[in-house]
Each structure stands twice: as structure tokens, then as C-alpha cells.
Amino acid sequence: MSSPNTPTADTQAATPAKPANNRRGLFLRLLLVVIVLAGIGWTVWYFVDGRWYEATDDAYVNGNIVQITPQIPGTVVTIGADDGDLVHAGDVLVKLDKSNAEVALAEAKANLANTVRKVRGLYNNVAGAQADVAARKVAVDKARADFARRKDLVKSGAISAEELAHARDALAAAESALTNAEQLYQTNKVLVDDTVVASHPDVQAAAAKLRAAYLDDLRTTIVAPVDGYVAKRSVQLGQRVAPGAPMMAVVPLHQVWIDANFKETQLTHMRIGQPVEITTDLYGDDVVYKGKVQSLGVGTGSAFSLLPAQNATGNWIKIVQRVPVRVVFTDPKQLDAHPLRIGLSSDVEVGLHDQKGPMLAQQAPAAPILNTDVYEKQLAQADDLIARIIHANLARSK
């Protein structure tokens, strides 16, 4: 029989629980200290550095999608590139049947040559009319001298009055013929005044028709206006296409940018030119692109939507709006090593330390943002052909 002071088995079993409670309390105190220190560290980091960044994952890769459309109607006879192919400016993408265009071009060539010859005839008419005026002047001078001589002879009775009347009539006829010749000369001269054959209006009109026919012939061959990759090919062999119908697109992937949609509350300290770090879902955090803010949107996304929101209702709820911010890449080599595609998702973080830049552009663009000289070359070829035809038809006048 045990005494009241003798510990029982249950008491002996409960005695080791005190150290466990002490360890748990110590762990909780340490955890509280860690949380407090972490909170203090995060607060210090936020006020020193963290608050100078704004980030969003509502950002997507965007770029120019150059639509390839025919300028004249025609039937597709050749397709030179397919989706994903690399093409350079001037490469053939589609060819249309040239039959009608070649017939129109041949007709325009013949019309220009014929017009040049007709204009040459106008210059010859001027020279002939001028010579006729000179001859008529001589005839008038002769008739006037004959009339004056006969007038003196009538006074002496050497000739009759009838012969003097005939001389007067001959002078009037010669003067009338001179007037007609001078009018004809002026009429012909007006047609060629202050021009040469090449600058004559008739030749210029015929040259314009030839230029249009030549361009139509060239436009049966549709070329790439820029370097890029083919996408969205919808044209098929034998298809009858109309001007403006989309056939395919060329996407210059070396000229892509990021459209990042920031909340309106994030734009307070955002400025043009601030540095940006970009990561994409395609490559993850292994590839960090460098960029900069190119422009801040001039309106929210909802303001430019097809059906803008109408908030003048009784059940209106305020929603934080988002504004598109365009971010451009500053290192083209990164795009060469890790190319992006249109529409890819990305995360964007903007550094706000430098706030010297403007919120809106202060100057108009000094040069075109995109340009191509493919079509200018076509017009130069047409002008060369016109010059050759005019020269060939002038050479025979010598």
C-alpha cells in the first residue's frame, strides 16, 4: 500500500512533458522573432528599393503584322512561301496570271510611240507654217509694189483703171492669205510652245498610261515589302483574287515589342525611357530581356474597345482601369538568341528610380517608323522604259 506522498505511475509518466512544453514555447518565440525581423526587413526594403518598381503579368508580345494583298485582280499561278518561311524584302510571294497585263502593256507601248511621232509632226507643222508665212509676206510685198506702180501709170493714162482694180484685188487677196497663214502658224505654235517632245502634254498622257500598264504588269508578281516570317497564308493555287483581299502576312520578329497593361494606380511615377526587365512564359526566369518604356497609352483599354463601357447607370461599380504601356527591347542580340512570337505572355517590371522623362511624347517623329523602297524601284523601272521608247522614236527624225 503506497503512502500519499509516493508518486503514482501516472504522475511519473507526466513528469517528462515539461521540457517539451518549454521547447515549443521557445520555438514559437523564435518564430515570432523571425516574423518580426522579416516584417522589419521587408518594410526597410520596400521604402528603400521595393517601392521604386511596378510590375504586371498582364503583358503580351506584339509586333507589326504586314498584310500581303494584291493591287490588281488576277488568278494565282504561283505561291512562293508558306507559313513559317523566312523572306526578305523583294522576295516573290505570289504570282498572278500575266496575260491581260502583258496585252495592256503592249498596247500602251504602241500608243506612246505613236503619240511621240504625232507630236514630232506638230513641230514640223510649225516649221512649215512659218515658212508659208514668210512666202505670203513676199507675195504681199510684190502685190503692194505692183499696185503702187500701176496707180502712178493710171494718172499718166498708160494703163486703164480696170487694170488698176485688178492690182488692188490681187493685193487684198495676198494680204488675206498672209493673215490666214499667220493664224495657222500661231495655232500650230500654241500646240508646242515652251515644250520639247518628251514634255509635251500628249506624250505625258501616253507615258502615264504606259506607267500604269507597266506597274500593273509588275504587280502580277507580289513581293515581300519587309524582311520577316510568313504567317496566316490563306491564298490557294488557282484562286481568283481581288484587290485588297488578304493572302498572307509577313511578321518582322526582330521588331516586336511588349504591350503591358498596368493599373492606373501604377502609373503615378512611370515615365518614358525608364528601364524595364522582361521575362516570358516561353523561357521563364532563365532569360531576362532588357527594355525601356517607349510610350504610355493615351487611353484605357476599355475606352478604345468596340463597345465602351457605359457607367451612367444606377448599379455602377468602380473598377480599376488598365492602361497599355509600350515597352521596346534595347538589346537586339537578345531577340536573335531567344526569338519571341506574337501574342506570348510575359511579366514586366519597370524601374521607377529615374523620373526625369515625360509621361507623354514631346516631339513628333523625325523619320518614318517603317518604310520600304520595293515599290519605288518598280516606278523607276517604268520611267526607264518610257525614256527608252521616247528616245527610240525621236532618233528616226534625224
pLDDT < 50 regions, the chain: 1-2, 9, 13-14, 397-398
Helix pair 161-190, 99-156: axis angle to 10 deg: 160
The overall average pLDDT reported for the chain is 83
Query: For the chain, which domains are there?
Result: 66-97+220-251 (2.40.50.100), 100-217+376-395 (1.10.287), 256-306+318-362 (2.40.30.170)
C-alpha span between 348 and 53 (Å, rounded): 10
Helix pair 201-218, 374-395: axis angle to 10 deg: 130
- pLDDT, position 234: 94
CB-CB contact of 108 with 214 (8 Å): yes
Query: Could you report the per-residue pLDDT of 235-248, keeping only the tens digit for each?
Result: 999 999 999 999 99
Query: Could you report the per-residue pLDDT of 376-387, keeping only the tens digit for each?
Result: 777 888 888 888
Distance of CA 131 to the CA centre of its chain: 56
- In the numeric block, which cell numbers belong to residue 103? 496585252
- pLDDT, position 8: 53
- pLDDT, position 397: 42
- pLDDT, position 20: 66
- pLDDT, position 19: 66
Strand pairing class (345-351; 53-62): antiparallel
- In the numeric block, which cell numbers belong to residue 257? 515589342
Length of the chain: 398
C-alpha span between 380 and 377 (Å, rounded): 5
CA angle 198, 203, 209 (to 5 degrees): 125
- pLDDT, position 119: 79
Please state, as a whole number, how many other Cβ atoms lie within 10 Å of the Cβ of residue 10.
7
**Closest-CA residue to 229 (of 371, 66, 51):** 66
Please state, as a whole number, how many other Cβ atoms lie within 10 Å of the Cβ of residue 279.
19
**Closest-CA residue to 202 (of 122, 121, 115):** 115
